[in-house]
Amino acid sequence: MKALDVAYQEFKRRTEAGRSAKQFVDEHLDPLLKASDELVGKLNVLARRDFKKVGSLDPEAPEEMKGELASALYLFSKLWCRVEILRRQSLYVKLARDERGRRLLQLLDLDCLESPRVRLVDRTEQQAIGEAMVEREQAQLDCVPFVRFVERWRMEGAFRAWLSPAARVLSRTGHVEERQRILEYGVVVHLLNDSLDPKHEVTRDRPSHPNKLTRKTRRSIQHRVIARYAKGDANHAKYIG
């Protein structure tokens, strides 16, 4: 009887932990997917225009933070903010106990979206940008809204300094290699959306832009991302042609 009681208590503990993880993922996955979906949509627009309205602006000039540059920088920062909020609030939750949480961890890990060959800025810089974008709203953590983001960029030197690594990347899109880095990152985010929301209940079923990718970029996505994290998915042509 004692052994049965111990086994039951362990089963109950694991069940409650699994339920806690599922509840946490249900609560936090939607805003992360919405942020990543907005970014994919913006990158699709910029890709069609070859980033012409982004790379011509000076990110070091506060008054230049407007239009496409402001929108793109905000959406990258907002996604990293959502990742940071997820990290902060998941310290005591076993995400891996939930199937979607496990999939999310795989796509966010150091071998995929945050790998040195995929990420756009240093991992510490990305985390700092995410932290700078976090604000507390009625005891809940949220992202700085767009208008306040632009105001803080123009008025607060410290805020501008934290976000400047990402702004510099976007300002160099006149160079093919920099554009390809951003496009590759966008494809990985797009794959994350389709993998975590296959029925598109939260995200939109967006097209991709394989015609804008070089052969080198397509190979990189195929061998380092799709082959490892989306091997069973059938729609690879959507991302790489």
Q: How many domains are contained in the chain? A: 1
Asked whether residue 225 is assigned to any structural domain, the reply reads: no
Q: What local confidence, expressed as pLDDT, does residue 2 receive?
A: 54
Q: What percent of the chain has pLDDT over 70?
A: 80
Residue whose C-alpha is closest to residue 39's, from 160, 161, 170, 154:
170
Asked whether residue 17 is assigned to any structural domain, the reply reads: yes
Look at residue 98 and tell me whether its pLDDT is greater than 50. Answer: yes
Q: What local confidence, expressed as pLDDT, does residue 3 receive?
A: 52
136 phi, psi to nearest 5 deg: -100, 125
Asked whether residue 185 is assigned to any structural domain, the reply reads: no
Higher confidence at residue 209 or residue 116?
A: 209
Asked whether residue 9 is assigned to any structural domain, the reply reads: yes
Asked whether residue 190 is assigned to any structural domain, the reply reads: no
pTM of the model: 0.84
Whole-number average pLDDT of the chain: 82
- Which residue range is the domain that position 69 belongs to? 2-175
Asked whether residue 232 is assigned to any structural domain, the reply reads: no
- pLDDT class for 233, splitting at 50, 70, 90? low
Residues whose CB falls within 8 Å of the CB of residue 55, separated by 6 or more in sequence, listed in order: 170, 171, 172, 173, 174, 178
Asked whether residue 227 is assigned to any structural domain, the reply reads: no
pLDDT single digits (tens) 172-205: 888 889 999 999 999 999 988 888 888 998 899 9
Asked whether residue 78 is assigned to any structural domain, the reply reads: yes
